[in-house]
Structure 1
């Protein structure tokens, strides 16, 4: 979950599915995941894709997935679109990419990526916690380390007793969650 009021972009007029916020998607994917930039060249491995499809659909690779013997083991492609998704049941994040194979002539042309040295879209400040049954019980809260709260949450008004604020968080599926952020402990001025 990321604290933000804009985790999703609005649907378009045709009712197209909402697109996940890139920072939220990357936070869930983790620091080792990066996506290529649109327009870049990538290598597509059809056999690996077939194996992945078989694994995720619990099918045998040769049984239900077509085999194309004349297809090369790898294809140089240009990336045209990337859409970030999250599984509704598991919150597992994944990306859908639209690729166009390049002709042998296009592959020979000099290519310089437009975003050399581009920064990751991984957010710099976030806090992750897997909630347990006791975190969601009627006692009304869960603990967050003070450093994480100060780094990620909006500043508290320490003139209030106790210092508190309401936080609204949106998850990957645009569900809104309300939390009361209360500082319990000692603070020094």
Structure 2
């Protein structure tokens, strides 16, 4: 597997926030797969610079392909924008490249997580809806398709005149959001009312963005967003795309080749979706 990297980790900057695995994958999208711990990957220094907005030659003497072993995979989310990314810890293993690339196949290239299979086995219930102008209006609520509401949310008591309940959902950062879920109108429909406008305003959601609700076997409700347009976080961009950050990471890779030390990179799934 060749990793296309858009950001480098630099000590003291852009602190990672660990998130729920299933919610991370839901927000990242269905085509995203990450390498397993212990699997083999190929790091491409020149592609890293290009993806990070750089150009020119790699400022540190490195081969065009660096065979690596994945030590750890941390799922993260930007606290300012909710954009998901992964922080990979890796160790360079130059000898693997020499031994296994000759036949055109890199050892461990199939060592990718089978996220879809794992999530299905846990009986996840999820729905994703692209927000309309009405969903983001300050005077309206969030209209939920009936089948989605009955699959993801706790059951309502339809014997009531106006069936309703309070929902509590955790976002990517573990923060709890409370919504009033009500079944009303002519024709009747499921709506999230009280608490919804606050969520929209806090997350700066607009029409075209998507909201995901996810519930696992434990019954805990999770809530994520998938933005139509990737928001820029200036602090992250400065930390990840600065020349000092690039040189720091490439130097760490060179040091890993010599001493088998661990280095870190950040992987943005929006570049593969």
Fold agreement, TM-score > 0.5: yes
Q: Which runs of 5+ in 2 are unaligned?
A: 1-14, 101-105, 190-273
Could you report, residue by residue, the CA deviation over 1:138-161 in whole angstroms, capped at 9, with x for unpaired residues?
656321010111121122222222
What do the CA deviations read for 1:99-141 (whole angstroms, capped 9, x no partner)?
1111416864896689688443557432233556744656563
Aligned partners of 1:165 and 1:44: how far apart in 2?
50
Structure 1, unmatched stretches of 5+, are: 1-15
Q: How many residues are paired up?
A: 164
**Per the alignment, in what secondary structure is the counterpart of residue 178 of structure 1?**
strand
Pick which of 170-179 and 34-43 moved more. 170-179
1:105/1:74 Cα in 2 relative to 1: closer, same or farther (>3 Å)?
closer
Higher strand fraction: Structure 1 or Structure 2?
2
Greater helix share, structure number: 2
Q: Which residue of 1 aligns with 2:24?
A: 25
Q: Which residue of 2 aligns with 1:152?
A: 152
Identify if the C-alpha distance between structure 1 residues 118 and 129 changes in structure 2 by more than 3 Å, giving closer, same or farther.
Answer: closer
Q: Contact 2:69 / 2:91 at 8 angstroms: preserved in 1?
A: yes
Please give the secondary structure, in 2, of the residue aligned with 1:47.
helix
Alignment partner, residue 94 of structure 1: 85
Are 1:67 and 2:65 matched, yes or no? no
Find 1:80's aligned residue among 57, 71, 76.
71
Q: What corresponds to 1:45 in structure 2?
A: 44
In angstroms, what is the RMSD of aligned CA positions? 3.3
The question of whether the paired residues in 2 share the 8 Å contact of 1:141 and 1:180 is answered with no
Deviates more, 1:103-112 or 1:19-28: 103-112
Provide TM-score, normalisation by structure 1.
Answer: 0.70
